């Protein structure tokens, strides 16, 4: 794997995103993550998994530079659908996955974290979906998962303003299971993973199979509509301006 590292400790698997400085979720990372998850599931040895980022961030978002290589709305829709499929696989995974979040989980990074079953964050971490500041929208099911955790009012606020919240607030609004001091993240993440791994594999597998039934029937429809809208919006002048402004590190000039 070029962009991921994998190690095991007892019956806990640890996947580390290694794409500095931002750990941006490129299509390569998503494909490697999908393959790694498939291999782990086939081996059937782990009782819990941890996903974390190397360096300053968990993941600061999708790979915006990659967006500039696409030409048609269908290309963007296909990208969104691929990311959605991988993240849905994570949510439906037979092994519990803990997102260990420090620095920032923004855009696609937060969408990845929300697909995980449990999230532990540092109090100083920044979590958000800032896509609207670029003239685009979340594309990896962010508009559908965020309301599930924080409620529709807070989700509207976070997505429409693009303003991230702290790890401490993420815990308060229900987006994170626990917020800890920066130097306690690894310790607390592994403590929780070990508590899970101490249980029988049969009971863990049963829980992982049953909880997803609570997902509403509307979710699949919402995710599909998000991918379609993601593709259409990327065909607008404002989206092109927003992405270009991001690349040039300047404020976008949206014209509507």
Residues assigned a catalytic role: 111, 131
SS3 60: coil
Contact 217, 112 (CB under 8 A): no
CA distance 234 to 47: 40
Chain position carrying tokens 């099911």: 141
Work out the burial of residue 186: count CB atoms within 10 Å of its CB; fewer than 13 is exposed, 13-18 middle, 19 or more buried: middle
What the block records as the tokens of 247 is: 């690349």
Concatenate the DSSP letters of all residues of 173-191 into one string.
Answer: HTS-SEEE-GGGHHHHHHH
């Amino acid at each position: 794997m070029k962009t991921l590292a994998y190690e095991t400790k007892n019956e806990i698997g640890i996947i580390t995103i290694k794409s500095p400085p931002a750990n941006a979720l490129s299509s390569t990372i998503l494909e490697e993550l999908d393959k790694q998850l498939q291999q782990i599931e086939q081996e059937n040895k782990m009782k819990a998994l941890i996903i974390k980022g190397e360096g300053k961030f968990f993941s600061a978002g999708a790979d915006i530079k990659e967006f500039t290589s696409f030409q048609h709305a269908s290309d963007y829709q296909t990208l969104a659908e691929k990311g959605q499929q991988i993240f849905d696989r994570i949510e439906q995974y037979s092994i519990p996955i803990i997102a260990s979040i420090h620095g920032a989980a923004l855009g696609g990074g937060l969408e990845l974290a929300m697909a995980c079953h449990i999230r532990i964050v540092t109090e100083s971490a920044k979590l958000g979906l800032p896509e609207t500041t670029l003239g685009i929208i979340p594309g990896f099911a962010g508009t559908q998962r965020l309301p599930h955790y924080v409620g529709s009012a807070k989700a509207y606020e976070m997505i429409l303003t693009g303003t991230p919240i702290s790890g401490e607030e993420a815990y308060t609004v229900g987006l994170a299971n626990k917020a800890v001091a920066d130097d306690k993240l690894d310790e607390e993440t592994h403590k929780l993973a070990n508590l899970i791994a101490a249980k029988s594999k049969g009971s863990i597998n049963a829980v992982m199979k049953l909880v997803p039934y609570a997902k509403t029937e509307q979710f699949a429809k919402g995710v599909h509509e998000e991918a379609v809208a993601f593709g259409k919006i990327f065909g607008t002048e404002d989206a092109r301006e927003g992405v270009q402004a991001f690349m040039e590190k300047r404020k976008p000039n949206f014209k509507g």
